[in-house]
C-alpha cells in the first residue's frame, strides 16, 4: 500500500512523523526528551497524562516540579554525565503527584543521539512499578515477622524443601540439634 500518495518528500516526512507520534503514544511507558540545556522538547501521551499537562505547557513551563532538592541535584548530575559521556542511568524512585498520591516508577535515562551519533540531548523513559514495590515490601514485612517468630517461639519449628533440606529453623529447634544458631541448619538434611 502506498502511504505517500503525492510522492513528495514533504508528505513522506509528514507521514513518518505521524507514524512516530502514533508509535510513541501507544507505548506503555512515559517518554520525555530534553535538549542539551535540559529543556523539554518532546513527551509522549503517557508522560503528559502522568503529569496531567499538555506538550505546550511542558515546553513553555519546563518539567513539573516534583523532585525534592536531593533528587534535583542527583538528576542534574546524571544529566551532565549523560551529556558528557553518554552514560545511561536506571533506577527506581518514589514519585509524589501534585495531589499527594504516591507511586513508584522505574526510569531509564540515556543520551539522545542525532543521525551522526552525537549526543544532542537526554531521553528519559519511565513506567509504573508500584504494584511490584508494594509486593516486595509486603514480602519483606512477612519475612521479618516469620524471622522474629522463629527467633523467639519456644516451640521447635522447621521447614524443609523437597529434598528434605532445612530452609528455616526456629532457634529452639537449632538448640535441640546442638547448634549455636538456626542458620547452621540451613541446607542440611
pLDDT at 66: 67
pLDDT at 62: 86
What are phi and psi for residue 7, nearest 5 degrees?
Answer: 75, 5
| Strand order, beta sheet including 30-35 | 40-43, 30-35, 119-128, 102-113, 89-96
What separation in angstroms does the CA of 89 have from each of 28, 75, 81, 126? 20, 10, 9, 11
Give the integer Cα–Cα distance in Å for 89 and 82.
Answer: 8
- Cell numbers for 41, please give them: 522538547
Whole-number pLDDT of residue 65: 73
Predicted local confidence at residue 5, as pLDDT: 58
User: Are the CB atoms for 146 and 62 separated by under 8 Å?
Assistant: no
Spell out where 97-185 has E strands.
Answer: 102-113, 119-128, 158-160, 166-169
> For each of the chain's 189 residues, which pLDDT tens digit applies?
455 556 899 999 999 999 999 999 999 999 999 999 999 999 999 999 999 899 999 999 888 776 678 888 888 899 999 999 999 999 998 888 878 888 999 999 999 999 999 999 999 999 999 999 999 999 999 999 999 999 999 999 999 999 999 999 999 999 898 999 888 989 988
Amino acid at each position: 500500500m502506498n502511504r505517500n500518495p503525492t510522492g513528495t518528500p514533504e508528505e513522506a516526512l509528514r507521514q513518518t512523523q505521524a507514524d512516530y507520534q502514533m508509535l510513541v503514544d501507544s507505548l506503555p511507558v512515559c517518554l520525555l526528551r530534553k535538549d542539551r540545556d535540559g529543556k523539554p522538547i518532546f513527551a509522549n501521551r503517557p508522560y503528559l497524562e502522568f503529569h496531567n499537562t499538555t506538550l505546550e505547557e511542558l515546553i513553555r513551563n519546563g518539567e513539573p516540579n516534583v523532585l525534592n532538592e536531593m533528587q534535583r541535584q542527583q538528576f542534574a548530575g546524571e544529566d551532565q554525565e549523560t551529556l558528557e559521556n553518554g552514560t545511561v542511568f536506571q533506577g527506581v524512585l518514589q514519585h509524589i503527584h501534585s495531589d499527594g498520591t504516591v507511586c513508584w516508577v522505574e526510569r531509564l535515562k540515556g543520551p539522545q543521539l542525532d543521525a551522526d551519533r552525537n549526543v544532542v540531548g537526554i531521553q528519559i523513559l519511565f513506567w509504573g512499578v508500584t504494584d511490584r514495590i508494594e509486593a516486595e515490601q509486603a514480602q519483606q514485612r512477612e519475612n521479618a515477622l516469620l524471622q522474629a517468630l522463629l527467633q523467639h517461639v519456644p516451640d521447635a519449628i522447621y521447614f524443609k524443601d523437597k529434598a528434605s533440606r532445612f530452609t528455616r529453623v526456629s532457634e529452639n529447634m537449632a538448640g535441640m540439634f546442638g547448634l549455636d544458631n538456626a542458620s547452621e541448619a540451613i541446607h542440611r538434611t
